[in-house]
Structure 1
């Protein structure tokens, strides 16, 4: 997987973003939190959220987020 970087404000250097952080916010939205609330809490844009969700889906991590229903 390509390295993911967050570009902080005020000219600070970019930091690698752990996949666990992406997974946390995607799980919060899957559990019922709105995308807007998650973005405000994490201080990132909604475009970033949807990009993270796409990356997790491509890497197979999305299957862990939504397990198949039993029955």
Structure 2
């Protein structure tokens, strides 16, 4: 039970870090007038990439968090 708890906590922290990283990156690029999307198709692509990156961050950070603290 302890490993599951730490894995879940690590996954939540990993997704939060991924969101903040991608949000800051988008804000910086927008500041320099670099648009990441021009159409609804581009928005969907970016959202799919966000889901993929969030899943990867959740699994990896959950694994390392559980391994480190349990």
Same fold, judged at TM 0.5 (above): no
TM-score, normalised to structure 1's length? 0.28
Q: Considering only CA atoms, is the larger Rg found in Structure 1 or Structure 2?
A: 2
User: Which of the two has greater helix per residue?
Assistant: 2
Looking at both structures, which has the greater relative contact order when contacts are Cα pairs under 8 Å and sequence separation is at least 6? Answer: 2
User: Which of the two has greater strand per residue?
Assistant: 1
